Structure 1
Amino acid sequence: MNTLSPNILALLPEYILTLTGILVMLIEPVLKPASSRKPLGWLAVLGTFAAGLASAAQLHLGTLHAFSGTIRVDAFSVFFHLLIAAVVLVTLLGSLDYFEGNASHAGEYFALTLFGAVGMMFMTCSVELLMVFIGLEISSISTYIMAGFRKGQATGSESSIKYFLLGSFATAFFLYGIALAFGATGSTSIAAIAAGLATTTTPRLAFTAIALIIIGLGFKVSAAPFHVWTPDVYQGAPAPVVGLMSTAPKAAAFAVLLRITFSGFPGMQHRWSILLWVLAALSMTIGNLGALLQRDVKRMLAYSSIAHAGYLLVAFTAFPADGILTACFYTATYAAMNVGAFAVITQIAGYNENLRTIDDYTGLAAKRPILTALFAFFLLSLIGIPFTGGFFGKFLVFTAAIHAGNIWLAVIGLLNSGVACFYYLRLLSALYTRSADEDATAPQPTVSVPAGIALAATALATLMLGILPGTILRVVNRAAYETIVTTQTPTAAARVSSTASADQQ
């Protein structure tokens, strides 16, 4: 791989996904309308797997710079590349049979998933704000279309329109923030912005810039009060699409937010951390209280995702070393358990999603015991029960907040975790309540082998992140060190290095 041009080597995963998506688009029109589109799905799976392998290979090549320094591939970006590739791979495996007999345009779904992944990966390795914007738009346009993929249903079209309109509005905030950052520092490069803050004569303009950028990215991660699109979009979009859009785009947006805050505006942490403190408290509280009122399962999980965005934002109020480490770990944990939960919903509810409310899930354990057990496991992890990834993720986040002196924010998070137990356990009790109306002996559809692999992978990842988190912690420690050392003081860099060494010991 070292013989390749740096511009090719740095973006090799994105190139692979792009070429695979183009190939899917070229093959799809040639197929007969009545023929299966599953081979296109397998092609997309193969391309995603190859992109993941390319990302893993980049981890051993050190830091790569490309396109005049606007692209930086290091341990931080490779971590998120692998995470996004894993989420896309699980989503594709879980939805290979989802469109069979229901949609002749399934090839578009596979191509859009790949193109969306390209944008997400591009965001995580961009260190220039305009390049970040390009990746954000590539990702957003794909998910806008996928949200309304069930064209025959009004809720699907409604979710797509709402997502597009509010997403465009949020993009304006992000762009205006970039413009103000350029006005305050004379550059849109994250490293140059960090250097320019030391000599800027307009610090208020710089703070306004980071505030607007946070607002724009706050929409992408469903942080309150920028969450109003989330319940309607989750309810109307297909279940596998919701599983994807609730994890991979959020991971990319959080990666960008980590780079911009801790690397681009480190000198203003005492200011923007207050803003993120408020957003974290609002997201946790509004998300959990909103979920209490929901009977629709997808809407409940939508409010749950708002709450988990709040838990993750708690990490941004910590010291840089702790904040980046815990945010990366929690992002991986949330991706595993949430995409797993929606993979189960995909298998249970099917294309038409006849099972919508909590009442519809009553007695499911008698009919689909294995799927119900997996669903229950993911719900327990979302609660934060010990020996699951959700517990260890919350433990790291709240510990980091306490180390930084944000004790009240940790208390708010713990109280909200207690509130969350109620609506998760309400769904759990319905799953294992005997239903008098349904025949438990009636034949049930079987889970395909690819979907079974996807479910097993997410369950295993959720379990391993809870009981053996050492491997991923070593990766995120390295990611935190390489992110901070480029712009922070030697003291901060030394603190990250000592943290990484202590964990490895």
Structure 2
Amino acid sequence: METIAMPAINLAVIMPEILLSCIAMVLLLVNVFVPGKNKAYLGYLSIIGLAVTAASAVGGWGPSVSAFNGSVVQDNYAIFFKVIFIISAALAILIADRYMVQEDCNQGELYPMVLFATVGMMLMASGTDLMVIFLGLELLSIPLYILAGWNRDNLASNEAGLKYFLLGAFSTGFLLYGMALTYGATGSTKIQAISAYVMGNPGVASNPLFIVGMLLIAVGFSFKIAAAPFHMWTPDVYQGAPTPMTAFMSAGPKAAGFAAFIRVMIFAFPMLRAEWSDLLWILAVLTMTVGNIIALSQDNVKRMLAYSSIAHAGYALVGFAAVNAEGAAGILFYMLSYAFMNIGAFGVIVLITKKGEINGNVQDLAGFGHKKPLLAMVLSIFLFSLAGMPPTAGFIGKFYLFSAAIKAGYVWLAIIGVLNSAASLYYYLRVMVFMYMKDPTEDFEWAGATPAIAVCLLVAVGATLVLGVVPGTVLELAQKAVQF
């Protein structure tokens, strides 16, 4: 009888995912068996679990190690992104408890859902097989659908969850069909095997099956990163979802989409690099412009930040279109910076809004700078960073991305990016005008920071300023991470 050789299993490669999955399942059981309506302790346990997971992930920094027959890899690129995901989850959890108590939707399952979504993001970053990336995407998406519609008593949240589910499933169909066509053209779902097949059979690069597969995969990922014209779900979902979950969705999943998108396009479709680079050029311009132009007319702060998020995806696509090491490293740095400044901004919004988010418009911030000067200053720092003003992390990130485009010969792309960044100043400064130059209509006595939110804002402000003043160490780590 013929013996079947079992492939070597190296669980150390996916140890961060295993740890976080186990912690999430334990928290589910703790939530069931520990009585009481106060579920804040689950948030603190989640933070501890994320810290342990981060230590496990960072401990793998160094030479790349693959496992499961080349389906997953532990490399510096994946580790850098995993740190971004963990930071995004931790910051979102810190601002969640106050909001969930205020909105009477403080069910303990919220925290395990965030952790499971983080596991999905980590699989997307470390996956080197299209099926593993797809499984990670689904593990990310299903908890996000639940989190978007978490506030069952709020019609906007219900609508957000339904829209996200329908359009997310629709976009997943594009992605999966593209993966199926790529498999049909090359006979493999492993990224390295696809690349080797294309190199050995140059004719496959002109195969319509292969080209359509690449385009559908690009469309699927464009949905996930909210790139125009595949952004239509973003404003309604971001506005309707609970604010802490909006903060989480705007940072972590977007970074996960870029992590998988970059790895797949660079390694699976190297023969078509010129074609998809030009496609990303157009996508970057369209995304930046659409996001910023529509954001100019928004009164709701969350909706404005949703369109701002679309524009920031466009800035990151500038570095992607450059297809060089500087552009890839710039995306890593920018995603990390964006997690701090965007979640920090949403953390202040959590404090400003009342039950039902009835005062979430720009006009409702009138006089906030006089009544709550410290919080207003913190929000201003985040808005300046989002606008790309020095000395903040947003400025360094954009500078690095646009410099990469110029080095790649995309001078006009960098110019369009700078012009878009300048246009975004209007709607960010508009918020500050109302905070500091309008007479207060509220006393904002409810806008006091809890210890958890205070920690979140302190960490976010510190990171935003430190990465803007002394970015050298993190930039070096990002450069090392993209040395595949």
TM-score bracket, normalised by the shorter chain, equals over 0.9
The equivalent position to 1:298 in structure 2, one of 297, 302, 318, is 302
1:426 aligns with 2:430: yes
Tell me which moved more, 303-312 or 17-26.
17-26
Q: Does 1:23 align with 2:65?
A: no
Structure-2-length-normalised TM-score? 0.95
Distance 1:354 1:367 in 2: 19
Name the counterpart of 1:497. none
Instruction: Give CA deviations for 1:274-319 in whole Å, capped at 9, x if unaligned.
Output: 1111110100010000001111111110000011100100111214
Unaligned stretches of 5+ residues in structure 1:
484-505
Matched, 1:400 2:400: no
Pairing 1:450-465 to 2, within 5 Å after superposition: 450-465=452-467
- Match of 1:96, SS state, is helix
What is the RMSD computed on CA atoms of the aligned residues?
Answer: 1.6
1: CA distance, partners of 2:440 / 2:376: 18
Structure 1 CA distance, aligned partners of 2:283 and 2:127?
Answer: 25
Instruction: Give aligned pairs, total.
Output: 474
**Structure 2 counterpart SS, 1:41:** helix
Assess if the C-alpha contact under 8 Å between 2:351 and 2:446 holds in 1.
Answer: no
Q: Give the whole-Å Cα distance in 2 for the aligned partners of 1:466 and 1:70.
A: 37
What corresponds to 1:13 in structure 2? Answer: 16
- Give distance in 1, aligned partners of 2:43 and 2:70: 35
Instruction: Please give the alpha-carbon distance, in whole angstroms, between the structure 2 residues aligned to 1:455 and 1:122.
Output: 28
Provide the residue aligned with 2:183 in structure 1: 182
Query: What TM-score comes out, normalization by structure 1 length?
Result: 0.91
The aligned counterpart of 1:45 is: 47
Q: Against the structure 1 CA distance between its residues 98 and 185, is the aligned structure 2 distance closer, same or farther, given a 3 Å change threshold?
A: same
SS at match of 1:281: helix
- Alignment CA distance shift 1:445-1:380 (3 Å): closer
Report the secondary structure of 1:214's partner residue. Answer: helix
Judged with a 3 Å threshold, the aligned counterparts in structure 2 of structure 1 residues 445 and 391 are, in CA distance, closer, same or farther, namely closer
- How much does 1:207 deviate? 2.3
* Aligned residue in 1 for 2:60: 58
Contact kept in structure 2, 1:238 and 1:351, CA below 8 Å: no
CA distance in 2: counterparts of 1:430 and 1:283, whole angstroms: 28
Whole-Å Cα distance in 2 between the matches of residues 414 and 104 of structure 1?
42
Work out the CA distance in 2 between the residues paired with 1:148 and 1:7.
Answer: 37
Distance across 2 between alignment mates of 1:97 and 1:293: 30
Say yes or no: does 1:223 pair with 2:227.
yes
Secondary structure at 1:472 match in 2: helix
Within 5 Å, give how 1:281-360 maps onto structure 2: 281-349=285-353, 351-360=355-364
Counterpart of 1:139, as a letter, is L
Q: Write out the 4+ residue segments of structure 1 that deviate beyond 3 Å after TM superposition.
A: 101-105, 442-445
Closer/same/farther in 2, CA of residues 436 and 371 from structure 1, 3 Å limit: closer
- CA-CA distance at 1:363 after TM superposition: 0.9
Secondary structure, aligned partner of 1:76: helix
Q: Tell me by how many angstroms 1:435 deviates.
A: 2.2
Q: Name the SS of the counterpart of 2:26 in structure 1.
A: helix
* Cα shift at 1:367: 1.9
Tell me, yes or no, if the aligned pair for 2:366 and 2:440 is still in contact at 8 Å: no
Structure 2 CA distance, aligned partners of 1:308 and 1:346?
Answer: 22
Find the residue that maps to 1:114 and give its secondary structure: helix
Task: Tell me, yes or no, if the aligned pair for 1:318 and 1:401 is still in contact at 8 Å.
Answer: yes
Distance 2:354 2:91 in 1: 17
> What SS class does the counterpart of residue 327 from structure 1 fall into?
helix
Residues 44-94 of structure 1 deviation map (CA, whole Å, 9 limit, x = unaligned): 11111111111111115x322221210101100000011111111111122
- TM alignment of 1:440-451, pairs within 5 A: 443-451=445-453
> Residues 246, 480 of structure 1: CA spacing in aligned structure 2 closer, same or farther, 3 A cutoff?
same
Identity score, percent: 41
1:495 corresponds in structure 2 to: none
Contact 2:277 2:323 in 1 (8 A): no
1:104 to partner: Cα distance = 5.6
Matching residue's letter, 2:44: W
Shift of 1:446: 2.7
